[in-house]
Amino acid sequence: MKILIYILFIILLPESVISCKVANAGKQQVQREWMLVSFGTFSKEELTKSKAAINLTAPEKNGKIHGGAFMGCNRMFFTAEFGSGNKLTISDVGGTMMACSNMQLETSFAAFFKKMNRYRTEGQYLILSDENGDSMKFIAADWD
């Protein structure tokens, strides 16, 4: 009987460690800087010129990440909660209030960003979407 318990322990221990690493890897994939490469009718060139990006590098606290965004004019901030089943909750969205000559991207981003409620990663990409089929596609800023 002791041998059976010992064998089960040896088999199950590495599997539980691997499961923990996989769960943490999902959050670590998201916790980085992301450049916006696809959103609405904006061209990739417009997004690149505006340096459109989100920053999710802050440490996770109580399951939430305090993030930042920049769309060419104002600094924005928000709280993101990446839950199980690829659920996403964006809350506490705010930002600076400078007047700039072209705020179309920033205004559209702010309106759509807080509606995003699903996420997925595909290689070096982060894709946020809502139930209406609207989406935002980001590429990892540290991806070569």
Query: Mind listing the pLDDT tens digit for each residue in 94-112?
Result: 999 998 888 999 999 999 9
Class of domain 31-140: mainly beta
How do strand 118-122 and strand 33-39 relate by DSSP bridges? unpaired
Structure tokens at 80: 């993101």
What is the pLDDT at residue 106?
Answer: 95
Predicted TM-score (pTM) above 0.85: no
Residue 35 near residue 45 (C-beta atoms within 8 A): no
Residue 106 parent element (H or E): helix 104-113
- Averaged pLDDT of the chain: 85
CA distance 72 to 58: 21
* Per-domain residue ranges of the chain: 1-30, 31-140
What is the pLDDT at residue 28?
Answer: 60
Q: pLDDT band at residue 143, thresholds of 50, 70 and 90?
A: confident
